[in-house]
Amino acid sequence: MKRLSFLMIIGLVIGLLAFTFIKTGKIQGRIAPADGASQVLAVLGTDTLRAEINNGNFAFPAVKVGTYTIQVKAIAPYKDTSVVNVPVIDSITTDVGLVKLKQE
């Protein structure tokens, strides 16, 4: 019984340590006009993340390392737009700056 408990504790410790090696960063930016978009997505391969828009500002707080495409879904009369090749580096915040929406 003691051996089983010991093995369970070792397994738990290894599991917790595994999560400390996941590398993440952050993506942030602004949209103009602030009320011109309905949603912002960060796409990496088949993974898609969604961020809230607050007064034109958006942020993806815990994003795994990679190169993303930011997709801004616009509200008419504005057009959808994308920012490509957005790098995410471990423990770094990538600021995509101001994303200006164009009218249709």
Question: How confident is the model over 2-47, as pLDDT tens digits?
Answer: 565 666 676 565 655 555 567 899 999 999 999 999 999 999 999 9
Closest CA to 41 of 64, 66, 60: 60
Domains identified in the chain and CATH numbers: 23-100 (2.60.40.10)
Strand 66-74 relative to strand 81-88, pairing: antiparallel
Question: How confident is the model over 40-87, as pLDDT tens digits?
Answer: 999 999 999 999 999 999 999 999 999 999 999 999 999 999 999 999
Cis peptide before 87 (omega within 30 of 0): no
The dihedrals phi and psi of 93, each to the nearest 5 degrees, come to -95, 120
Closest CA to 72 of 50, 45, 104, 39: 39
